[in-house]
Structures are given as C-alpha cells and as structure tokens.
Structure 1
Amino acid sequence: MTSFNTLFNRMFQEKSKSVYLIFLIQAFASLCFTIIGFVSENGTPEFVNGKDTSSVNVIVAFLAVFAVMMLITSFIADFVYWIISSIKNEKINRSQTWRLIPVTDTKFLLSNFGTAFLTYIWLGILEAVTIIVTLLPMLSDQDVRKAIGQASIHLSARDWQEMLASLGLIILIGYAWYAIVSLLNLASRSIIDFLPGGSSKVLTFIIRVVVIIAIIWILGHAASIIFSVLGEFSPFAVNNYDIDYATTLLQFLVFDVVITLIDIFLLNKFVEAKQN
C-alpha cells in the first residue's frame, strides 16, 4: 500500500504545476500593467503623506505599483485557480492512472481535497511574498518609515481568537467546496454510467442539472438540520462569545465529514475510473 504522505506529495507536485503557471501569467500581466501605467503617466512619482508631498525614486515607485498590480490581479488569479483545481480534482477522481495507486478511497479523497486546498494556499503565499518583497524598497523613503512608525496595532486575546477561528472556518469551507463539487460530479456520473445511452451529451447535461438541483436542495435541508441540532449543543464553549465560534466550526466539521463519507461511498461503489 502506498503511504498517505507519498500520495499527498505526488498530488501536490502535480497540482503545483498549475499554480506556478498561473502565478507566472499573473506576474507577467502585472508587469505589463505597471509598464503601461508608467508610460501613460507624466511627471515624477510622488509619495503623499497628509499635506506633505515628496518625490520617490522611480525604481522604488515602479516596484510599489507592481505590488499593487499583483494585489489587484490576485483576485482574478485566485478565482481562476479555484475553478481549475476543482476540475483537476474530478479528473484525478476519474483517472485510471491515479486510481490504480494502492491506497484506500478515504486516503485518496482526503489527499485529493487536501492538496487542492494547500496548493490554493501556496498560490496565495507566492503572491503575498512577491507583494511584500516589492514593497520593501519603499522603506528607504523617510516619509514612509515615519508613517509606519506612527501606526500602532494592538491585538487582544479575543482578537487572536477571532483570527484563529476565522482561519479554521476558512479551511473547513474551502474543504467543503471541493467535497461538494466532487459529490455533484460523482453522483451524476454514477447515474450516467448505469443508464443506456449515457454517453449522449444531451442526456448527460439533463442528468447533471437534475442531480445538481436535487443535491443542492438536499444539502440545504441537511445543513439546516445539522446546524440547528449542533446549535443546541456545544460542550467545549465557556461563554456566549465562544459558543458562536465553537458551534460554527463544529457544524462545518460535521458537514465536511458527512459529505466526504458520501463521496467515498460513491467513488468506491459506483464510479469507475477511465483511461487518461
């Protein structure tokens, strides 16, 4: 049997190729936008701090504008990879090459969903590092250093709790997205594979639409039941403030587990792999 770590690393490496491609395209597009902006602008770049205005080195200003462009294009790049990673997940689920790897369906799906989410985070890290590095030369400007020095940020224990809870919620929601997409695809594929003439594009489209509507309706009702039940029970909450976060995290955790179990069942019992 192949270990989970080995499978996880192989999937991560495979999906990272799309991350690097999207990141390079994003960086190139940001560079082009920056050059166009500088060519179209007349005059020397300036830094404005209140009523004070001072000239900024052209290279420093160029890097700062590039950082801003990277930030703007990151929303598009992240959305594109969000879609691409979902499609990639379903291709792997149906790939005969990947399915022949000696590993349990549980490990296979967890690795598939986990690597998709982590590569998504990896893209965000690459973007953040690029933005921070290109903004560092701005520290050479005295006015910028003065403005940063005047800024003060104080985080209380409750603020840290909110940040950690929000991070956990983002992880669970991100995982839920990939699990739900797989559920929709595996459920519709399970029906199509067992119907005569299932290869018909029209029939396939109709079945997918019906299955998607049905599953969304079922998930909506199931989620409302789970959330209402768990909302009455949060054993590790210590006060009203904690109950909101603890219960919400528990609700999404249970929701993710249920959807994953259904995905595993469909993948193991009904969905056949196909040749690449």
Structure 2
Amino acid sequence: MISFSSIFKKLTQNKARLVRRLAFLQVITGILFGFWALFYSVFEGESKAYMMVAFISITPFFDLAYLVLSSRKNEEIYASQTWRLVPIKESTLLFANLFSAIVDGLYLVVLQIGMIAIAGLPVITTNGFWKTTFKNFGSIGEGKLWQEAHLTDLACSVILLILIAIFIYVAISSVNFTGKVVSDFLPEKISKMVYFLVVVALTCVGLIVLINVYWFVLNSLTGFLQNGMFLTTLSRDALEVKSNLSSNYLTMLAIFIVDLILIAINIVLLNKYHEAKI
C-alpha cells in the first residue's frame, strides 16, 4: 500500500500546476487592469496605488476560479481509473485529495499576497502612505497594535474559512457521488437525465442552506475580528455586530461536525458505489 504522504505529495504537485497557471494569469490580468484603470482614472487616489488596487480587486475572482477548477480536478481524480487503481484505501485517497486542494489553495493565497505587496511597493515606500495608515488605524498609530491583537481569534478566523472550504469540496463530492449512485441503478437511456436532475435538485438544496447560513457565518467571522486585532479599526457598521465568542466557537464546531458527516458519507459512496472510468 502506498502511504498517505506519497499520494498527498503527488496530488499537491498535480494541483500546484493549476495554481501557477492561475497566478501567472493573475499577474498578466492585474498589470493590464492596472494600466487600464490608470488610463481611465477608474480608482480614486494617487497613480502609485492603481496597480495595487487592481491586484486587490481581481484577487477574489481568481480565488473563486481556483475553487471551481480544483473542485473539478478533485472529481476527475475520483473518477479516474489511473488514480483508483493505485494501491491505497479510498479514505486515504479522499483525505489526500481534499487536503492537497486546501494546501494548494493556501499556496495561491501566499502568491497573491506577494503580488499585492510587489504591486504596492511604489505607494508602500512613501511616507504619505504610512502617515495615512497611522491616522486611519488608531491602534497602529498609537503603538498599541500588539496590545489589541488576539492571535487566537485571528487563527480561529483562518480555521473557520478552511472549514468552510472543506465543506464546499465535500458537498460537491457528495452531490456528484449521490447523482451517480442513483443514475447507475437505472437504465442507460435515462441515467444521464436522472443524474442531471439529481445534481440540480441537490445543488438547489445546498444553495438554500448556504443562503440561510450566510449571515450567521459572516457575523461569526466579524465577531472573531471584532474581538481581535481589528477591534479599533472596523467601521461603525461592523462594530454594531454583537460578538459572542461562545457562538463563534459553536459555529466552528457545527461546520466541523457537518464536514465529518459528509466525509464519512463520501467514503462509503466512494468505496461501495463510485466506479472509476478509463
């Protein structure tokens, strides 16, 4: 049997190519968008900040693109006979596939932070930038940044986002596996149509659930930040959100339990019903 570390390394390298392509595309897009914004005066402020603002503006779109493309790659791996014939347990393959997508997602975030920092060098190196920063962010300007910082809350915010990412990956796999299980027990003529209908129905249910928990998760995340290092830098509207650390940790626990349930379901479906294709 191949070890978890070996298969995890291979899958991470496989998805790292996707990350590098997206990063390269983001660099090209950011530069073109920055010059376009500068030419048409799209952003307010000094011209030195245009490139940095351009990179910040397009970053969420490339994060979303990675989420979609990596989810698709995950499903291709589950359906690939090449990967499924590897002497490894289905549960090990599932965890390696899932966590390699998370690790490479963090790799993309690190690259994006580097892009933004490099694009912002012309403005970051000016005295005016730091004077404005000190003026607008009270705790930093007063030298109380580390007094206000609650690293535990910041770490919990990152963990919460990772748990949500895991939920998205395993939910997509659950929808895909369930659709194929249902369609495989039906005649071939209608199996594709039934698979499509099942996927659409489960996706609609998932979207309804996500819409209902959106504000709850957003408020919990804001609560982490409000009790942490950004306490004195949030806007008044954000400060109106009442923070309750107990409910924040409860949110994390609830998402963690849902993730475990979906992972367990996926392991059963992958092991007993999900057939690989050539």
Instruction: Output the TM-score relative to the length of structure 1.
Output: 0.76
* CA offset digits 1:119-152 (Å, max 9, x no partner): 2221111111111122234344232344345554
Note if 1:35 corresponds to 2:26.
Answer: no
Which among 140, 156, 159 is matched to residue 165 of structure 1? 156
| Counterparts of 1:84 and 1:205, CA distance in 2 | 20
How far is 1:211 from its partner? 4.9
> In 2 relative to 1, CA 139–22 (structure 1 residues): closer, same or farther, beyond 3 Å?
closer
Residue in 1 that maps onto 2:178: 187
The aligned amino acid for 1:23 is A
> In 2 relative to 1, CA 261–164 (structure 1 residues): closer, same or farther, beyond 3 Å?
same
Q: Assess if the C-alpha contact under 8 Å between 2:183 and 2:192 holds in 1.
A: no
Q: Assess if the C-alpha contact under 8 Å between 1:198 and 1:204 holds in 2.
A: no
Residue in 1 that maps onto 2:63: 78
Which among 115, 118, 135 is matched to residue 133 of structure 1? 118
| Counterparts of 1:89 and 1:199, CA distance in 2 | 26
Q: Assess if the C-alpha contact under 8 Å between 1:189 and 1:271 holds in 2.
A: yes
- Tell which deviates more after alignment, 147-156 or 242-251: 147-156
> In 2 relative to 1, CA 148–16 (structure 1 residues): closer, same or farther, beyond 3 Å?
same
| Counterparts of 1:101 and 1:157, CA distance in 2 | 50
Note if 1:206 corresponds to 2:197.
Answer: yes
Q: Assess if the C-alpha contact under 8 Å between 2:8 and 2:100 holds in 1.
A: yes
Rg bigger for which structure?
Answer: 1
How far is 1:7 from its partner? 0.8
> In 2 relative to 1, CA 245–195 (structure 1 residues): closer, same or farther, beyond 3 Å?
same
Residue in 1 that maps onto 2:167: 176
Provide the aligned length of Structure 1 versus Structure 2: 239
Instruction: Output the TM-score relative to the length of structure 2.
Output: 0.75
How far is 1:93 from its partner? 0.8
Provide structure 2 residue ranges, at least 5 long, that are not aligned to the other structure.
Answer: 214-242
Note if 1:248 corresponds to 2:233.
Answer: no
RMSD: 2.9
| Counterparts of 2:189 and 2:94, CA distance in 1 | 25
Q: Give percent identity, aligned residues only.
A: 27
Equivalent residue of 1:102, what SS? Answer: coil
The aligned amino acid for 1:206 is L
- Tell which deviates more after alignment, 154-163 or 259-268: 154-163
Q: Assess if the C-alpha contact under 8 Å between 1:169 and 1:249 holds in 2.
A: yes
Provide structure 1 residue ranges, at least 5 long, that are not aligned to the other structure.
Answer: 48-57, 224-239
How far is 1:84 from its partner? 0.9
